Amino acid sequence: MNYFKKSSLFPFPFLLLCCSIIVFFNNGVVNASHKVFPELQSTSTVDVKNVHRTGYHFQPPKNWINDPNGPMYYNGVYHVFYQYNPHGSVWGNIVWAHSVSMDLINWIPLEPAIYPSKVFDNYGTWSGSATILPGNKPIILYTGVVDANKTQVQNYAIPANLSDPFLRKWIKPDNNPLIVADVNINKAQFRDPTTAWLGRDGYWRTLIGSVLGNKGLTIMYKSKSFMKWKKVQHPLHSVDDTGNWECPDFFPVLLDGTNGLDASYNGKNAKHILKVSLDVTRFEYYTVGTYDTKKDRYTPNNTSIDGWKGLRLDYGNYYASKSFYDPSKNRRIMWGWSNESDTVHDDVKKGWAGIQTIPRKLWLDPTGKQLLQWPIQELQTLRQQKLQLSNCKLEKGDKIEVKGITPAQADVEVTFSFSSLDKAEPFDPSWADLYAQDVCAIKGSTVQGGLGPFGLLTLASKKLEEYTPVFFRVFKAQDKYKVLMCSDASRSTLENGKTMYKPSFAGYVDVDLTNKTLSLRSLIDHSVVESFGAGGKTCITSRVYPTLAIYDNAHLFVFNNGTEAIKIETLNAWSMGKPKMNWSFGHSSY
């Protein structure tokens, strides 16, 4: 079998070069920017279209999903709740769907845990978080919508039966709501309570996202009993001109090592992360900083830009993330929602919309400047047939096709090297104020460069009518190098509907190039490509909808379109199996 093929991206001559190839077989809320379609919210799904459904990402059998809510580990079981429309594939009729797992990969669907039914949430049960109270008692804080004006309050729910290993049924006591906005708070932008943490003073604290004018802020509340909450006089943190803050997350990270910490930890060897979802931009931003527990103030480090030009958890289609501490493996795990990039009418036609990205372990980079993120180790249990490739040289215009795996459903890890940085292109000073995404749109994968572009062509058709390139390009900017990482959906499909969203997502990678190497991992799954650059320093998720590159007609290539030769030091690619993903127990909600 021909497991790889070398050819040219462009009509340039090339030399056949030697690589080592080994093939293995084993068995081995409404958010303000949500578009609302009342006429479609309860359009029942008759026939689910599978052509772009994912094979190993989290999603229910049908219908709309958005924010992951209240992920937790409790008595040996992982729980994830999520915003779900049981009656259609657009936003509306939202309940808290509930699934459980032993490994974060295979999921069992249960009955919805929380749904509108009381005066304090009759107009909506929106996002929130889970906290484990003393005595090993889980509790959920969530946002309830109480009227047609979208007035938002914060409620709680508790398990009906702690002896039930799956915590199937949840109760919303009548002493709700626990937190009501005062006259100084925008009641229609007051949502998504965080996991609570217990301070040394014996008070619980939680944060709620909001906006005052155009200032985004996290409002803090304190409680001794968890039942009676009082607003702290000042926000934990706020930033002018950032708009509404949704889905805040606040947690400590160790200065050294990859272990996670419980939300209540406050030792000297830790920093804190404040993450917010910006309603205006629809991206996830975070800073690394210091939490003053006496003043209840958070101050970002001077290396963290505090605003739209700041660090993002993911530079692509990734939003409303929620993290939790996993005590069974001493790690912090982040879940994120990836919305569709096609049209609402496409979603109605196919009968589903939205996925959750692969859970990521996260920890602080040794530099202390940013987080590192990596797919959880359990994902490797789905790896099947393997291709291993090494010592392949790519001249300008070359590409290698990776064969012997299933390119539409794969996990690929590759390390590139180069002998010199001399051919890095000058960074145009006029780009200084542009976002990385804008630079990627100018300098795409087909634009010849010096050191790069090089990387992967994922979900590609045989003749490259369609492909989603994930690649690096190195620039020389004054006395330093800038590494651009792109995941470009602009050529991902021949479908050219005016409302099809096909952006050139991108971010810069803060990496030391002394060793002249760059690594990339991409999780490819039919309509999603999740990529992790330089060991998880920069992450980009793209949603794409090829018309030719589907199922067995999808291809995977490694390419170089720079004048500097690139060497594939190692490439490991696996076909990925299908987990048990929310197979229905017969619940009408699924």
**What are the pLDDT digits (tens) for 97-148?**
999 999 999 999 999 999 999 999 999 999 999 999 999 999 999 999 999 9
Query: What local confidence, expressed as pLDDT, does residue 28 receive?
Result: 38
Q: Which of 150, 292, 280, 155 is nearest to 232 (CA)?
A: 292
Give CA angle at 493 (487, 496), nearest 5°.
115
CA distances from 193 to 85, 140, 155, 323, 480 (A): 21, 9, 9, 13, 41
Confidence of residue 44 (pLDDT cuts 50, 70, 90): low
Q: What is the 3-state secondary structure (H, E, C) of 177-234?
A: CCEECCCCCCCCCEECCCCCEECCCCCEEEEEEEEECCEEEEEEEEECCCCCCEECCC
Q: Which of 475, 484, 485, 472 is nearest to 416 (CA)?
A: 472
**Three-state DSSP state, 344:** helix
**What are the pLDDT digits (tens) for 442-486?**
999 999 999 999 999 999 999 999 999 999 999 999 889 999 999
State the Cα–Cα distance between residues 581 and 590, nearest whole angstrom: 12
pLDDT at 17 over 60: no
- Better-predicted residue by pLDDT, 46 or 68: 68
State the Cα–Cα distance between residues 525 and 545, nearest whole angstrom: 11
CA count, 13 A, side-chain hemisphere, 73: 17
Q: What is the mean pLDDT of residues 569-590?
A: 81
Query: What local confidence, expressed as pLDDT, does residue 1 receive?
Result: 41
Q: What is the mean pLDDT of residues 25-42?
A: 50
**What are the pLDDT digits (tens) for 363-394?**
999 999 999 999 999 999 999 999 999 999 99
pLDDT at 7 over 80: no
Query: What local confidence, expressed as pLDDT, does residue 38 receive?
Result: 61
State the Cα–Cα distance between residues 38 and 494, nearest whole angstrom: 30
pTM of the model: 0.94
Query: What local confidence, expressed as pLDDT, does residue 420 receive?
Result: 98
State the Cα–Cα distance between residues 580 and 281, nearest whole angstrom: 34
Whole-number percent of the chain with pLDDT over 70 = 90
pLDDT at 12 over 90: no
Residue 433 CB burial class (10 angstroms; 0-12, 13-18, ≥19): exposed
Of the listed 67, 326, 346, 411, which one is catalytic? Answer: 67
Whole-number percent of the chain with pLDDT over 90 = 88
Query: What local confidence, expressed as pLDDT, does residue 33 receive?
Result: 41
State the Cα–Cα distance between residues 522 and 528, nearest whole angstrom: 10
Confidence of residue 499 (pLDDT cuts 50, 70, 90): confident
Contact assessment for residue 307 and residue 287, using Cβ atoms and an 8 Å cutoff: no
Confidence of residue 42 (pLDDT cuts 50, 70, 90): low
Active site residue 525: no
Report the greatest alpha carbon distance in the chain.
75
Confidence of residue 13 (pLDDT cuts 50, 70, 90): very low
Buried b (16+ CB within 10 A) or exposed e, 7-36: eebeeeeeeeeebebebeeeeebebeeeee
**What are the pLDDT digits (tens) for 221-270?**
999 999 999 999 999 999 999 999 999 999 999 999 999 999 999 888 99
Query: What local confidence, expressed as pLDDT, does residue 4 receive?
Result: 36
Query: What local confidence, expressed as pLDDT, does residue 583 receive?
Result: 79
